[in-house]
């Protein structure tokens, strides 16, 4: 059996970006974020996993739907320490901060209702493995969202011009190709968009 290793190279890359991340911008307008999150049916019964949460761009927006619990998960300890400083005193035990790699997801089977991967999917080094982990932790009927608040060409131009070799290869596929990958991993694709301003795919665990 192949041994999966934590993605230390990307962890270091994002650790080094963490201090400047919030100033990088442009951030999406709150209404754009909320319009997207409304599609995920977050309510007071739900546990939401924010995969690759970074410094917590989505956290306040997710909490505006009053979920039972939010798990803010990221590879980068420095991204998470900024997130902790901004959000942990406000939400107490309802906000769980988890450092780790999605490929080795340290969560119980069927423990999550909604998993959001905002701005992170192209960075997964083994996408079928990452998707199988997300499938495992989601409840049946739970939702997986993969999204960027920007168009695919824009994201690929940013990653493609990175000074870091690894990041230059972290490119987004057209959503139709993503849909085939997702469908092959036990999900039913419900909704998608792939245009100049937004990229997302929402799928249900079957």
Ligand X SMILES: C[S@@+](CC[C@H](N)C(=O)[O-])C[C@H]1O[C@@H](n2cnc3c(N)ncnc32)[C@H](O)[C@@H]1O
| Binding region for ligand X (CB under 6 A) | 7, 10, 14, 51-54, 57, 74-76, 79, 101-103, 118-120, 123-124
Q: Whole-number minimum distance, CB 71 to ligand X, in Å?
A: 12
The strand order across the sheet containing 47-51 reads 95-99, 69-74, 47-51, 112-118, 138-148, 199-205, 187-194
Tell me the closest approach of the beta carbon of residue 140 to ligand X, in angstroms.
24
**Residue whose CB is less far from ligand X, 140 or 155:** 155
3-state secondary structure 67-97: CCEEEEEECCHHHHHHHHHHHHHHHHHHEEE
Q: Closest CB to ligand X among 44 and 108?
A: 108
CB-nearer residue toward ligand X: 7 or 194:
7
Shortest gap between Cβ of 172 and ligand X (angstroms)?
Answer: 12
Nearer to ligand X, 65 or 121 (CB): 121
Closest alpha carbon to 153 in 169, 132, 174: 174
Residue 188: how many other CB atoms lie within 10 Å:
11
Shortest CB 182 distance to ligand X, Å: 17
């Amino acid at each position: 059996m192949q041994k999966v290793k934590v993605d230390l190279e990307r962890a270091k890359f994002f650790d080094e970006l963490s201090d400047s991340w919030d100033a990088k911008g442009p951030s999406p307008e709150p209404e754009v974020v909320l319009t997207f999150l409304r599609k995920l049916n977050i309510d007071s019964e739900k546990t939401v996993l924010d995969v690759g949460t970074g410094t917590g761009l989505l956290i306040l927006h997710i909490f505006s739907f009053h979920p039972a619990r939010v798990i803010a998960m990221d590879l980068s300890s420095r991204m998470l320490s900024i997130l902790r400083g901004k959000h942990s005193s406000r939400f107490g035990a309802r906000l769980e901060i988890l450092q780790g790699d999605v490929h080795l997801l340290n969560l119980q089977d069927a423990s999550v209702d909604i998993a959001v991967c905002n701005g992170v999917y192209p960075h997964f080094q083994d996408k079928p493995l990452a998707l199988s982990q997300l499938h495992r932790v989601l409840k049946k009927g739970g939702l997986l969202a993969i999204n960027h608040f920007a168009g695919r060409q824009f994201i690929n131009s940013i990653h493609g011009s990175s000074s870091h070799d690894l990041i230059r290869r972290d490119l987004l596929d057209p959503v139709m190709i993503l849909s085939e990958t997702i469908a092959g991993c036990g999900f039913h694709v419900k909704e998608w968009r792939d245009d100049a301003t937004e990229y997302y795919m929402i799928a249900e665990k079957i």
